[in-house]
Amino acid sequence: MRGCARYLVCCLLLLSTLWPAQPVRARHAMVVSREGHATDAGVAILRAGGNAVDAAVAVGFALAVTHPQAGNIGGGGFMLIRFSDGRTTFLDFRERAPLAAAADMYLDATGKPTESSQFGYRASGVPGSVSGFELAHRRYGSLKWPRLLAPAIRLAREGFPVSYDLARSLRSSTALARDAESRRVFQRDGRFYEAGEVMRQPELAAALARIASVGSRDFYTGETARLLVKAQREHGGLITRDDLAGYQAVERTPLVGTYKSYRLITAPPPSSGGVGLLEMLGVLDGSGYEREGAGSAASIHFVAETMRRFYADRARYLGDPDFTHVPVAGLISERYTAGLRRLIDPERATPSDQVAAGRPEGNESDQTTHYSIVDANGNAVAVTYTLNGSYGSGVTVPGAGFLLNNEMDDFTVAPGVPNMFGLVQGEVNRIAPRKRPLSSMTPTIVLREGKFYSVLGSPGGSRIITTVLQVFLDMADFSMGLQDAVNWPRFHHQWKPDVLRMETGFSPDTIKLLRARGHEVETVGSIGEVSAIAREGEWLAGAADPRTAGKASGY
C-alpha cells in the first residue's frame, strides 16, 4: 500500500514538472512566427531599436522568403496594431478582384465550378501585402524602410538551410508541381530540396531590393508590376496594369467587444473573423458552458452548437463592407446573441439543415500564416497574411520569383457550392470587380482589466475563427497558461458540412458522448497553427504551436 502511495506521489511530481507546458519567456519584447529565420529577423529589428510595426514588416518580408507556403508579397492580409497608449488600428491589405472579374467567371458552360479559382493564373486577386507593409511603415514605423527589407533580401540572396518541414512541404505540393516556373524556383536542378540544403532565390532577392530602394511603386507600377502583368497576359490571367496601379491598402477601425473581464480587439469585415469571435463569445457568455471543464462533452457540444450558428450567419451576411451592408453591430449585439443562446439544446445537436441564418438588427436587406509581436514599449502587432492555399495559385511570376495567391477561391464561386475549405457561402460574397473576398483571418489582441493581456492569431481557412476562439476560452474560462491553451486539442464546426471535426487527443469516451448527442464526429489531423504572446506579470510569454515548426523568441 505504501509503495503504491509513493508511486502516485512520484507520478504527480512528474506531471507537475511536465505540466503546465512552458512558453518562451522574455522580459522586454517577443516575436512568434511560423518560421525561425523570420522570427530572428523580427527580434533583430527590435533589438536595433525598431518598434513592433517595424518588426512586423521585417517578419512579413522574411516569411515571403523562408515560408513560401504562405509568407508572401503576392498575397494579402491584415495587420492589427495596439499602441502602448491604447490607440488601435487595423490595416486591410486584402487582395481585390481584378477589374475584369465577373460573378460566374469560374463556372463552365454547364454552370459547374472549375478548378481555376484554385490553380493557375486566373486564381489570383490583386496582391496587397507590399502596399500594406508600406502603409504600416509610413504611418507607424520608425526605422528606415530599406532596413526592414534587409533581412529578407539577405535570406533570398545568400540563401538559408531548408528545414525538414519546408523540404517535406515542397515535395508534397501539387500546386507547385503544375507550374514550370515554380518547379524551377522551388526545386534544385530538377530535384526536390533535401532538409539542410541551402535555398537561394535570386529573382526574389532582386524584386525585394527594388522594393527596398523605391518602395511599393516598384510592385504596383514599376519593374515588378511589368513582370507580373506580362506573365498574366501571356497565361490568360486577368490582372492588368490598371489593377495594380489602382491598388491601395486601407486603414479601418478594429472591431471591439467584451467577454467577462476581457476586452477583445479584432478584425472587422472584410474579415468574418472578428464578427465570428465576438458573436460566438456573446452566445457563450453567461451560458455556463464551461461548468463541466475543458474537453468535456458538455462544453464541446455547446461551443460546437454556437459555431454552427455563427457560420450560418457568415454565409448569409458577411462580405466586403465596401460593397454590401454588413450588420456587424446586430450580429454581435447582446440581444441577438442571447436569442441564439436560447436556441441551443444543451443535450442535443441541431442538424444544420434546421439552422438558418438569424435576423440581426440593422440588416436592410485554407495556407496562411500568423505572427505576433510585442515590443519593449508595449506596442502589440498581430499579422495574418496569406496566399490562401498552400503556395497559393502555384504560379511563380517569371523573373520576379514570387508566388501569386489564389484568393479568388474565397469568394462564393457559386452559391451553395463548397469552396476549398468546404465553406458554403452566399450571394453577399459573390465576385465583382475590385471587391475583396470574405476572409476568416482573425488577428486579435486581448486586454484584461484594461491592460494588454495577449496577442494571437492563426491560419486554417474557415477554422481560423474557431481556433482563436478556443485558445482564448482555454485561457479565460479554463485557466490554462498560454502554452497549454495553444497546445490543447481543438475542434471545429462550420454549419455545413454538418460535421464536428476533432483533433486527435480527445478521449474516446468524450467522442462517444458527443455522438450520443447527435454529432457526426470526424477526427482530423490538426486545426490551426497559433502564434501567440501573453503578459505574465513582468514577463512576456511567447508560444509557437507544437503542431508546426514555429519559433518564439525575445529578449
Q: d(Cα 54, Cα 35) in Å, to the nearest integer? A: 18
Quote the least distance from Cβ 461 to ligand DON, whole Å. 4
Name every residue whose Cβ is closer than 8 Å to that of residue 550 and which is 6 or more positions away in sequence.
Answer: 32, 33, 34, 35, 39, 529, 531, 544
Pick 106 or 145: Cβ nearer ligand DON: 106
Q: d(Cα 371, Cα 102) in Å, to the nearest integer? A: 33
Q: Nearest to residue 37, comparing CAs of 219, 201, 203?
A: 201
Pick 186 or 391: Cβ nearer ligand DON: 391
Using CA atoms, how far residue 268 sits from 271, 407, 434, 450, in Å, is 6, 18, 18, 21
Name residue, grid cell 502589440: 380
Quote the least distance from Cβ 389 to ligand DON, whole Å. 7
Pick 333 or 429: Cβ nearer ligand DON: 429
| Helix H or strand E encompassing 165 | helix 164-172
Pick 73 or 153: Cβ nearer ligand DON: 73
Pick 461 or 554: Cβ nearer ligand DON: 461
Q: Nearest to residue 326, comparing CAs of 413, 419, 248, 426?
A: 426
Q: d(Cα 302, Cα 305) in Å, to the nearest integer? A: 5
SS (H, E, C) 39-103: HHHHHHHHHCCCCHHHHHHHHHHHHHHHCCCCCCCCCEEEEEEECCCCCEEEEEECCECCCCCCC
Quote the least distance from Cβ 366 to ligand DON, whole Å. 4
Quote the least distance from Cβ 425 to ligand DON, whole Å. 11
Quote the least distance from Cβ 125 to ligand DON, whole Å. 10
Q: Which three cell numbers stand for residue 424?
A: 458554403
Quote the least distance from Cβ 314 to ligand DON, whole Å. 11
**Tally of CB atoms within 10 A around 89:** 18
Q: DSSP assignment, residue 222? A: S
Q: Nearest to residue 26, comparing CAs of 538, 482, 453, 447?
A: 538
| Helix H or strand E encompassing 453 | strand 451-456
Q: What are the backbone angles phi and psi of residue 26, rounded to the nearest 5°?
A: -150, 155
Catalytic, out of 89, 368, 442, 444: 368
Q: d(Cα 36, Cα 417) in Å, to the nearest integer? A: 38
Enumerate binding residues for ligand DON (CB under 6 A).
366-368, 386, 388, 407, 410, 439-441, 459-461, 464
Pick 201 or 467: Cβ nearer ligand DON: 467
Pick 270 or 330: Cβ nearer ligand DON: 270
CB 121 within 8 A of CB 232: yes
CB 72 within 8 A of CB 387: yes
Quote the least distance from Cβ 170 to ligand DON, whole Å. 16
Name residue, grid cell 481543438: 490
| Helix H or strand E encompassing 385 | strand 380-386
Q: d(Cα 396, Cα 184) in Å, to the nearest integer? A: 9
Name residue, grid cell 527589407: 149
Quote the least distance from Cβ 81 to ligand DON, whole Å. 19
Pick 212 or 464: Cβ nearer ligand DON: 464
Quote the least distance from Cβ 388 to ligand DON, whole Å. 4
Using CA atoms, how far residue 175 sits from 226, 245, 266, 387, in Å, is 24, 28, 31, 12
Pick 218 or 529: Cβ nearer ligand DON: 529
Q: Which residue type is seen at 417?
A: V
Pick 298 or 527: Cβ nearer ligand DON: 527
Strand partners of residue 451: 448
Q: Nearest to residue 94, comparing CAs of 311, 319, 363?
A: 319
Pick 116 or 368: Cβ nearer ligand DON: 368
DSSP result, 273-312: HHHHHHHHHHHHTTT-GGGG-TT-HHHHHHHHHHHHHHHH
| Residue 368 appears among annotated catalytic residues | yes
Quote the least distance from Cβ 79 to ligand DON, whole Å. 14
Measure CA of the first residue to CA of the last residue in the chain; give whole Å.
49
Quote the least distance from Cβ 121 to ligand DON, whole Å. 18
Residues acting as catalytic residues: 368
